[in-house]
Amino acid sequence: MKATQASRTALVIAASLVLLRHDPKYSRAISQTSADLCARLLKTYSARTRLFLKITRWPWMRAIAKFIERITIPGILLHYALRKKNISQLARAALIHGTKQLVVIGAGFDPLSLELHREFRTAQFWEIDHPATQGHKARAFPEIDDQRFHFIANNLSTAALDKNALRNSGFDSAQPTFWIAEGLLMYLPADTVSRLMITLKELSAPGSQFVFTFMEKQSDGRIRFHCQSKLVDWWLSRRGEPFVWGTTRHELVYFVRSWRVLRFFDHNDLREIDSALADEPLARREVICLAEI
């Protein structure tokens, strides 16, 4: 990832959500607000992403996307959509029940905190991410209320989470917090993930929750989606974003022992979110974990 460029993965996911919203079969898996926010990010990013937005409405573009999906990771687009919907439901539940702080780590171009920022006017929001990705996002939304929404520039691949920067922006470790790390930890070494778990525990008051995703290792130890092609391995490596950490559910409980695991959500749970899509292909091996202090 270049110093001035947003994560390619962040761009791909944002583009995927816009594309799915325009697909009659999958449109209800993505909220209109989420799709609009992603579209705004892509519109302001580059000439290429603006061109993409113009052609997403055409059926032939969706056909090309489905073909690419079939030869890379079957069901990955729907996985992105349902993963985000599941995490959104968990975050909303926490905010409805009184949590006043929400922090997204490695936010990328994810629109969730922007969407929740509009809905929950008494809560505070933070996004922690690589400064390049974050810079593009901040420029796309200059009207954000910076009294309630805070960007913390922090490249977790090269530096530990900056606790002082978080606190200096108004974060209160005496208040329960809802932490999110979606589609992030598989890109970090195990020792970095472990340190992050400990740091978040130190910053969290009783009642805080942490939702994160992780890759379940295959029986041969490889870290990849079920049916993932070698083309994806090559693409991630070439872009400097390979999967480097994975685990099992049993190992994870011990690995994150500073947190208490409440439950896991896998592809079977995601299917239950929308029964109308139950027969559609869905990528497997990335699992959502909800934990608490």
Assigned domain for 210 exists: yes
**260-265 and 286-292 strand pairing:** antiparallel
Neighbours of 221 (CB within 10 A): 7
**What does the pLDDT average to over 1-22?**
78
**What does the pLDDT average to over 36-48?**
92
Assigned domain for 228 exists: yes
Band (pLDDT 50/70/90 cuts) for residue 10 is confident
Residue 166: domain span: 8-292
Band (pLDDT 50/70/90 cuts) for residue 3 is low
Q: Total domain count for the chain?
A: 1
pLDDT above 80 (res 47): yes
pLDDT above 80 (res 241): no
- In this prediction, residue 4 carries a pLDDT of 57
Closest CA to 113 of 97, 94, 132: 94
Band (pLDDT 50/70/90 cuts) for residue 185 is very high
Assigned domain for 198 exists: yes
Assigned domain for 3 exists: no
**90-138 pLDDT, tens per residue?**
999 999 999 999 999 999 899 999 999 999 999 999 999 988 888 888 8
pLDDT above 80 (res 190): yes
Assigned domain for 1 exists: no
Q: What CATH number corresponds to the domain at position 253?
A: 3.40.50.150
- In this prediction, residue 2 carries a pLDDT of 52
Assigned domain for 91 exists: yes
Assigned domain for 133 exists: yes
Assigned domain for 2 exists: no
